[in-house]
Amino acid sequence: MLPLPPKADRHTDAGVFYRNHVDLREICFFPEVRITEKQRNIIENTAFRHFGSEVRVYLFGSRARDDKKGGDIDLLLEQVSDDDASTTKKISFLTDLKKSLGDRKIDVILKSPSTPDTEFLRIVDRTKIPL
Q: Are strands 22-23 and 56-60 parallel, antiparallel or unpaired?
A: unpaired
What are the beta bridge partners of residue 74?
60, 107
What are the beta bridge partners of residue 78?
56, 111
pLDDT tens digits for range 7-60: 444 444 444 444 444 444 443 444 566 788 898 999 999 999 999 999 999 988
Q: What is the pLDDT of residue 79?
A: 86
Start-end of H helices in 1-131: 37-51, 87-101, 119-127
Homologous superfamily of 31-130: Beta Polymerase, domain 2 (3.30.460.10)
pLDDT classification of 131: cutoffs 50, 70, 90? confident
The percentage of residues in the chain with a pLDDT greater than 70, rounded to a whole number, is: 69
User: Boundaries of CATH 3.30.460.10 in the chain?
Assistant: 31-130
Pick the range with the lowest mean pLDDT from 4-18, 38-52, 84-98, 106-120: 4-18
Tell me how far CA of residue 42 lies from CA of 26, 47, 63, 82, in angstroms.
Answer: 26, 8, 16, 24
Q: What is the pLDDT of residue 35?
A: 81
Q: What is the pLDDT of residue 96?
A: 95
Q: What is the pLDDT of residue 66?
A: 63
Q: What is the pLDDT of residue 27?
A: 37
pLDDT classification of 70: cutoffs 50, 70, 90? low
Higher confidence at residue 26 or residue 91? 91
Q: Find the angle CA(71)-CA(104)-CA(49) to the nearest 5 degrees.
A: 115
